[in-house]
């Protein structure tokens, strides 16, 4: 057969595959005549490397429903995946509809890759401990590569993923890719140093440009079926249930003890929370921590979350000014909070402010009327409404701040004492 052999740099070299596919489709080379192989170039892990890709005009319009499958099919373990994708493009180029059997095959491969990606994400610790974290895994290199951005959104503080065929380092600012780390030391700091030395290919190396991220596209049914806080958090990275995901840096999921018996529900992450990927770590969060300690509780024993998981703001010069989420955004985010509470089964739910209270109670709430008393919730557990800590920060004078802070601590104490009953 008079064929073409195309060499991809890695199994995650989506931009190489795309550029070659475009060229071969343009030249009308048939799928059966192409042999796709992956072979690492000598400078694959070099700090800097250039590459030359073919260029050709696009001949194909891909429907969005199919296009969204491509990155996930690409990193699947099926040895025929590159050909299947090319064949799909070839069919579309020729103006034909993609046979159902092929669509099903693509969907199945995509589902397998997404499952692997979810599994990897679930291994990522949250950002509470800012020290370097090492994640050892057996995931295929291509799946790991496809999750680099998702993993850094899950944990903006440093980590290293070590797998048989891949080392991926995130130092809090940028990624570096390297081959698998052999002969790992028993000393964790030596492992971290060795992995960092090994992972040398980053933004300056064109072989790693254009890795296609595999996204999970969570819908209400996926959220409702999530078995754990880890899987909820892993899926929420890709949440696009409302428009707030666009401007925000990342989804800020709840954090805490997965067996906690008390949950605190705020409004939405603020500027600091959006940057650090953790709820209640900015000024309101610090005040909340202090009040909680004074009330006899602590953050480590609780689950802390928000009604809305993305920061809503308007830019004003270099600052981002908080905006209240509207009822559509609160409703769009409701499946996350509902499932968090179903998985946690808390004995006590503390609603911090009107947004948290309306989201939990599913109705309009006036905080001043409903605060400071136990409210029976539908699932038989106890609810308590109190003010949002940022309300205390906004009070104009010392006297009212002290008075309201004391009432806030009293409310928190009342919530904590309900745990004992
Ligand atoms: N305000 C909130 O409601 N939640 C946060 O996480 C931070 C500030």
With a 6 Å cutoff on the Cβ, whether 346 touches ligand 1 is no
Instruction: Report the pLDDT value the prediction gives residue 205, as an integer from 0 to 100.
Output: 98
pLDDT in tens, 216-237: 999 999 999 999 999 999 999 9
Distances, alpha carbon 326 to alpha carbons 240, 242, 308, 331, 332, in Å: 16, 11, 10, 9, 10
- Structure tokens of 301? 């024993």
**Contact assessment for residue 381 and residue 347, using Cβ atoms and an 8 Å cutoff:** yes
Instruction: Report the pLDDT value the prediction gives residue 2, as an integer from 0 to 100.
Output: 63
This prediction has a pTM of 0.96
C-alpha span between 412 and 369 (Å, rounded): 17
For ligand 1, mutation pick of 251, 265, 302, 390 (most atoms within 8 Å of CB): 390
DSSP state of 75: T
Q: Where are the domains of the chain?
A: 4-118, 124-208, 220-419
Q: What is the DSSP string of 222-237?
A: HHHT--SHHHHHHHHT
C-alpha span between 140 and 22 (Å, rounded): 26
In which element (H, E) is residue 284 found? helix 283-294
Q: What are phi and psi of 223, to 5 degrees?
A: -65, -45
With a 6 Å cutoff on the Cβ, whether 269 touches ligand 1 is yes
With a 6 Å cutoff on the Cβ, whether 268 touches ligand 1 is yes
C-alpha span between 161 and 120 (Å, rounded): 10
Distance from Cα 274 to the centre of ligand 1, integer Å: 10
Q: What is the DSSP string of 234-280?
A: HHHTT--SSGGGTTSSS----EE-TT-SEEEEES---HHHHHHT-SS
Place of tokens 């249930």: 241
**C-alpha dihedral, 353 to 358 to 361 to 364, nearest 10°:** 120
Q: What are phi and psi of 188, to 5 degrees?
A: -55, -35
- Structure tokens of 183? 């002969």
What is the position in ligand 1's atom list of the atom closest to the CA of 307?
Answer: 3
With a 6 Å cutoff on the Cβ, whether 126 touches ligand 1 is no
C-alpha span between 36 and 34 (Å, rounded): 6
What's the topology of domain 220-419? Uracil-DNA Glycosylase, subunit E (3.40.470)
List of the chain residues with pLDDT < 70:
1-2
Place of tokens 């809090």: 172
Instruction: Report the pLDDT value the prediction gives residue 183, as an integer from 0 to 100.
Output: 84
**Contact assessment for residue 340 and residue 240, using Cβ atoms and an 8 Å cutoff:** no
Beta-bridge partner residues of 205: 49
**Contact assessment for residue 389 and residue 408, using Cβ atoms and an 8 Å cutoff:** yes
With a 6 Å cutoff on the Cβ, whether 153 touches ligand 1 is no
């Amino acid at each position: 057969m008079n064929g073409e052999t195309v060499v991809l740099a890695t199994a995650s070299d989506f931009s190489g595959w795309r550029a070659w596919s475009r060229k071969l489709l343009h030249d009308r080379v048939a799928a059966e005549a192409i042999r796709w192989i992956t072979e690492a170039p000598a400078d694959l892990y070099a700090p800097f490397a250039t590459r030359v890709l073919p260029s050709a005009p696009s001949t194909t319009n891909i429907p969005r429903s199919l296009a969204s499958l491509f990155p996930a099919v690409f990193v699947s373990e099926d040895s025929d995946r590159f050909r299947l994708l090319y064949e799909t493009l070839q069919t579309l180029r020729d103006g034909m509809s993609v046979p159902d059997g092929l669509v099903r095959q693509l969907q199945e491969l995509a589902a397998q890759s997404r499952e692997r990606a979810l599994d990897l994400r679930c291994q990522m610790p949250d950002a509470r401990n800012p020290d370097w974290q090492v994640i050892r895994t057996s995931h295929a290199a291509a799946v790991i590569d496809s999750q680099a951005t998702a993993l850094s959104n899950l944990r903006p503080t440093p980590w290293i993923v070590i797998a048989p065929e891949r080392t991926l380092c995130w130092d809090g600012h940028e990624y570096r890719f390297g081959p698998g780390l052999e002969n790992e030391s028993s000393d964790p700091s030596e492992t971290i140093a060795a992995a960092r030395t090994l992972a040398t290919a980053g933004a300056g190396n064109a072989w790693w440009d254009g890795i296609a991220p595999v996204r999970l596209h969570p819908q209400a049914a996926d959220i409702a079926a999530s078995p754990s806080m880890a899987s909820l958090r892993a899926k929420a990275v890709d949440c696009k249930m409302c428009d707030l995901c666009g401007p925000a840096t990342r989804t800020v999921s709840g954090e805490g003890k997965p067996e906690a018996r008390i949950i605190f529900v705020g409004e939405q992450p603020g500027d600091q929370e959006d940057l650090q990927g953790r709820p209640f770590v900015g000024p309101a969060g610090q005040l909340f921590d202090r009040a909680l300690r004074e009330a006899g509780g602590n953050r480590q024993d609780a689950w802390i979350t928000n009604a809305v998981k993305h920061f809503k703001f308007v830019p004003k010069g270099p600052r981002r000014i908080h905006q209240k989420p509207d009822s559509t955004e609160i409703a769009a985010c409701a499946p996350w909070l509902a499932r968090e509470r179903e998985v946690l089964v808390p004995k006590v739910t503390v609603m911090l402010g009107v947004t948290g209270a309306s989201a939990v109670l599913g109705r309009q709430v006036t905080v001043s009327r409903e605060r400071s008393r136990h409210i029976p919730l539908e699932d038989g557990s106890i609810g308590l409404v109190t003010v949002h800590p940022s309300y205390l920060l906004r009070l104009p004078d010392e006297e009212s701040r002290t008075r309201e802070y004391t009432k806030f601590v009293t409310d928190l104490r009342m919530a904590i004492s309900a745990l004992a009953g």
